[in-house]
Amino acid sequence: MAEKTIVFTLIGMAVVTYLPRLLPAWFLRNRKLPAFVVAWLKYVPVAVLSALLLPSLLIQDKQINFVPGNLYLWAAIPAIWVAWRKKSLFGTVITGMLVVALARWLFHL
């Protein structure tokens, strides 16, 4: 019985994961979207990534953390600059990691 439940759960998870992705692609494959919709859709990944990252930068122990010792917030500043200027995900990630690593090494944080 437990194996049957696991299999049905996996199938259900696959359906709810792929169906919302497949249906729009299926229905829109032969249609041309208006220019404003295409322009708007380009901002969706940035908005989602920002919504996921901002709380981890600003909230610590269920409180907003704007103290000078917030290492991740300091590391985000040059990373945001690299992302804005270079438009490189790899460069942005490396910059953030290097700032955190250097700060921990130099200041023993």
Whole-angstrom distance, CA of residue 56 vs CA of residue 20: 28
Residue 92 placed within a domain = yes
Whole-angstrom distance, CA of residue 49 vs CA of residue 70: 20
Q: pTM for the full model? A: 0.63
Using 50, 70 and 90 to split pLDDT, how confident is the model at 1? low
Residue 59 placed within a domain = yes
Residue 14 placed within a domain = no
Whole-angstrom distance, CA of residue 41 vs CA of residue 54: 21
Residue 102 placed within a domain = yes
Residue 16 placed within a domain = no
Q: What percent of the chain has pLDDT over 90?
A: 64
Residue 11 placed within a domain = no
Question: 49-101: per-residue pLDDT in tens?
Answer: 889 989 988 888 888 888 888 899 999 999 999 999 998 989 999 999 999 99
Whole-angstrom distance, CA of residue 46 vs CA of residue 83: 11
Residue 3 placed within a domain = no
Range(s) of the domain holding residue 68: 32-107
Question: 7-56: per-residue pLDDT in tens?
Answer: 999 999 999 999 999 998 899 889 999 999 999 999 998 899 889 989 98
Whole-angstrom distance, CA of residue 77 vs CA of residue 85: 12
Residue 68 placed within a domain = yes
Total tally of structural domains belonging to the chain = 1
